[in-house]
Structure 1
């Protein structure tokens, strides 16, 4: 069977599964690069002719091109997913990509935000203009709910309720995220200002809107976060939506006394091991606070 034909069927399968446009773009780009390599460098057109050695050669090519270990691991994850599908569809007897060893990625401990830094970033925006109050609400919702960037941009107004919101996460999976009273106060002000600002304008159904009434782009959201970091003078840290997600997770584990299973559900993780990574970034002071709260003697009446 022609590798090119199998790829086309796989892409339709992925579309049917509801993968995001960004994920589809990554899959198409990487698997088409693999197809070109196999055809031009290895003379392979048939799916059944691909061997472990061909995939190892492709991985070496990426390494020789200077691709970092983390990027190679991410790239090969897409390839493994394709060959796993081929095995499930009985197009191949095994997932040969499983036998290819990828480079080990050095673990980096993310240096998270402090409470003071997050407060300063929220206070970097006023309640005077639409964009300022929208930006304040964005910072607040990221810090208080730990949403992914794509989840925040895709949030629909109809899904924001009184005390909760329905979030569309990875793999098009919906989950419920709860709204605290402190966050609700900010959202109410944002919604009021938003209604006034767009009262005679046509808008999309997104909760957070650009000044023209459309949904926010990835670059626009990134610019909001970076502007907040600059105004609050946050130094030596990655100022991004994911760092707010990290802040939410660490605060929940240390101050909220939430168990890791509940946190995993709130964050939309399919595997609890992903949530456990946040435990590795706790500093000594945070671990001490957590240890005190768990101390049997300290909890004696």
Structure 2
């Protein structure tokens, strides 16, 4: 018999269970999106989770879209709804398979602007700039590491000095929620990641010359530091916005702006205002695409990037159909 559980109670239980399993940012996103679901259920007179049916999901989607949110936000909200309903399935509050009735919108090119990956040419230009002008700085080291490993932002800032095994050319990724650096996928995100000679050399030189010998608020020794402690996500994001401005690397503007008068160009704090600047997430997508184009099996990329194959293919694989066909061609001789 299905338990009599209100939508509000189910959401509270879901959030309580996931609090120590996901990052604070993900938990906040869950809480925000599901607050809208609770309001919808109250307006519809839905008193128990088990009363939800497919038509309600359609109505909820229309309601959110009618509130004027962007399509990418709608997609994120519906993705959260799907995660919550899968939890409800496990709790036997709704029928198995009910979560799959949530249909995500297809995003057009305008909606994908913030998610656009950087081209390989732009990545190479940025790395060439770092090697020439800012070699082995913290900004260089963290950018190249995230490109090489497909790391999330939280994974990179959560690394400690002891996690880097220079002689073995490896990094240990660990879930440490009790001291402020949880992994998005919790304990399941822990892994050992292999490094190549090039990034190992950069990290060695960064540690020897540029890294500040400091501890964080928990007495840990971060790998990536500021003068005051561990590199924050906010600072890392600003670094990425700054370095991905075309005017920073090439000295020209593809948007026909006067660089001397452009706030995004002359003030690093305003870097995100440049239409071509990018946060760390598109670089992660670009890195995953790069690995796939270099004939890495999807299963191995998913292990390295700590994302399921299904999610990788749906949200991170940015290859064109032609690129995918070229990658598959190598397997024809085995048939």
TM-score (norm 2): 0.71
Pair 1:12-2:16 in alignment: yes
Tell me which residue corresponds to 2:94.
Answer: 92
Q: Which residue of 1 aligns with 2:58?
A: 56
State the SS of the aligned residue for 1:166.
Answer: strand
The equivalent residue for 2:30 is 27
In structure 2, how many angstroms separate the alpha carbons of the residues matched to 1:252 and 1:201? Answer: 33
Q: Residue 269 of structure 2 aligns with which residue?
A: none
> Shift in Å at residue 292 of structure 1?
10
In structure 2, do the counterparts of structure 1 residues 71 and 291 end up closer, same or farther at CA, with 3 Å as the change threshold? closer
Gaps of 5+ in 1: 297-301
1:156-195 matches, cutoff 5 A: 156-162=160-166, 163-168=169-174, 170-172=184-186, 173-194=189-210
Report the equivalent of 1:209: 225
1:269 aligns with 2:285: no
- State the alpha-carbon separation in 2 of the partners of residues 266 and 222 from structure 1: 22
Whether contact under 8 Å (1:264, 1:272) holds in the other structure is no
Q: Which runs of 5+ in 2 are unaligned?
A: 175-182, 255-275
Counterpart CA distance in 2 for 1:30 and 1:260 is 30
Give me the whole-angstrom Cα distance separating, in 1, the residues matched to 2:285 and 2:101.
Answer: 33
In 2, distance between residues paired with 1:281 and 1:97? 29
Q: Is the 8 A contact 2:171 2:194 kept in 1?
A: yes
What is the distance in 2 between the residues matched to 1:113 and 1:6?
Answer: 45
| Superposition RMSD in Å | 3.5
Could you say what secondary structure the match of 1:45 adopts?
coil
Structure 1 residues 205 and 124 mapped into 2: Cα distance closer, same or farther (>3 Å)?
A: same
Aligned match for 1:126, one of 121, 126, 134: 134
How far apart, in 1, do the equivalents of 2:125 and 2:249 lie? 7
Taking a change above 3 Å as real, the CA distance of residues 43 and 165 of structure 1, as seen in their structure-2 partners, is same
Structure 2: distance between partners of 1:167 and 1:151: 7
In structure 1, what is the Cα distance between the partners aligned to 2:51 and 2:284? 44
Distance apart, 1:149 and its partner CA: 1.5
Whether 1:112 and 2:110 are equivalent positions in the alignment is no
Cα distance change on mapping 1:175 and 1:106 into 2, 3 Å: farther
1:281 and 1:164, CA in 2 relative to 1: closer, same or farther beyond 3 A? farther
Are the counterparts in 2 of residues 3 and 46 from structure 1 also a CA contact under 8 Å?
yes
Q: Is the contact between residue 225 and residue 241 of structure 1 (CA under 8 Å) also seen in structure 2?
A: yes
Displacement, 1:250?
A: 4.4
Distance 1:292 1:55 in 2: 41
Report deviation, 1:9.
1.7
Normalized against structure 1, the TM-score is what? 0.78
How many equivalent residue pairs?
285
Corresponding position: 1:65 with 2:71: no
Per-residue deviation, 1:137: 0.9
